[in-house]
Amino acid sequence: MRIQAIGMKLYNFNSGPSILPQSVLEEASRAVLDFNGTGLSVLEIGHRTAWFQDILDEAKESVKKLMQLDDTYEVLFLHGGATTQFMQVPMNLLNPGETAAYCDNGIWGKKASREASLFGNAVVVADSSDKGHTYIKKDFTVPGNAQYLHITTNNTVEGTQWHQYPETHVPLVADMSSDIFSTQVDFKKFSLIYAGAQKNMGAAGVNLVVVKKNILRTLQKPVPTIMDYRKHIEAGSLMNTPPVFAVYVSMLTLRWILAEGGLEEMGRRSREKSGLFYKTLDSLPVFKAMVAKEDRSEMNAVFFLADPSLEAEFLELCKKEGMIGVKGYRTIGGIRVSMYNALPLQSVQVFCDLMKDFAIRKG
């Protein structure tokens, strides 16, 4: 906290948990002391009280409104992040011996397919590792007997993103943890969506699951109650004690997205921020972008120094100037700038100015 102590402004580019809207932080902080004038902290209210039910109801309604979904879909707020869903999806959608198709465009797709292989035949139909996951492989065939196709819509580690979703004859399942609610898309294309909240939708500790109810079949195997989507639907996300505070922060964040103009406005801002960043990146030879231009992520820009010996110096400069969370993922290295919904355009501009200054001195 030394930087804050001397009054320096911090620019939060963390990949997750990430920056939250200031108004959400202020409202949540007030609720920690006194929730809506009840005299109780939001950390103290019972999860089966009308107070929490109102929070949960608004959060679910906001999700459906933003996604433009009808009652054929159910919204759940569950424990665990995307990693839990790597097993929960095949546990609920596959009978023993059945097949599911997976796209491996990075570390999270690979982990998802490995978990699925514990519950059925997980076939990797698209693998971009031949070029270090620097592109999205779009030319592939889904087996006719596949029960679903799984994709990771945005690859946080590698910096790639699906900008057009694959057309498929089977139900489409997506891990949207790092780009959910960042722009308007046709969510009806998907039969199941899951997303950890800690990037565009709130604080760490809760996972959103949106499932089309007709995808849930009678299974020829037992499923532990706590892992069964149908049981969670019956219980209204209250089968066990939910992460009350995390759900509350998600509700506030969803409320903020709606108040700011919804997904159309989030998409406009996202394109403006990422457009500014990539234009700057491409103009400076001291930096090197590896990701195919058509597959670049609007959420997570991953790049390197053309001269690797300059990386430590650049990272130290970022630290000195209050740029937080820009060191690349431990298995990839390089630099990563995350531009989630709550990140203001000004932060991207300041980072771009820093890049230009560094390039002048080192170019």
CATH of the domain at 33: 3.40.640.10
Residue 160 is inside which H or E element, if any? strand 160-161
Q: Check residue 7 and give its pLDDT.
A: 54
- What is the value of pTM for the model shown? 0.95
Question: What's the average pLDDT block by block, 10 residues per block, for the chain (363 residues)?
Answer: 53 97 98 97 97 98 98 96 96 97 97 97 98 97 97 98 96 98 97 97 97 94 96 96 97 98 98 98 97 98 97 97 96 96 98 98 86
Same domain, 192 and 268: no
Q: Which of 60, 110, 137, 199 is catalytic?
A: 199
The helix (H) or strand (E) run that includes residue 5 is helix 2-5
Q: Which of 110, 137, 175, 179 is catalytic?
A: 175
Q: How many domains, the chain?
A: 2
Residue 350 lies in a domain: yes
Kindly state whether residue 10 falls inside one of the protein's structural domains: no
pLDDT value of position 4? 46
Please report whether residue 3 resides in a domain.
no
Domain boundary among 205, 233, 259: 259
Task: Return the residue matching tokens 């690349």.
Answer: 328
Q: Which of 104, 108, 137, 228 is catalytic?
A: 108
Per-residue pLDDT, 91? 97
Could you tell me if 310 and 286 are in contact, meaning their C-beta atoms sit under 8 angstroms apart? yes
End of a domain among 231, 259, 287? 259
Domain interval for residue 163? 26-259
User: Do 30 and 133 lie in a common domain?
Assistant: yes
What is the reported pLDDT for 363?
75
- 34 counts as catalytic: no
Q: How far apart are CA 338 and CA 80, in angstroms?
A: 22
CATH number of the domain where residue 300 is located = 3.90.1150.10
From CA 108, how far away is CA 82, in angstroms rounded?
A: 9
Q: What pLDDT, on a 0 to 100 scale, did the predictor assign at position 201?
A: 97
Query: Of 259, 285, 319, which residue sits at a domain end?
Result: 259
175 has catalytic annotation? yes
Looking at residue 117, its pLDDT comes to 97
State the pairing for strand pair 99-104/121-127: parallel
pLDDT at 80: 87
- Answer yes or no: do 122 and 241 share one domain: yes
Question: 199 and 64, same structural domain?
Answer: yes
Catalytic, 108? Answer yes
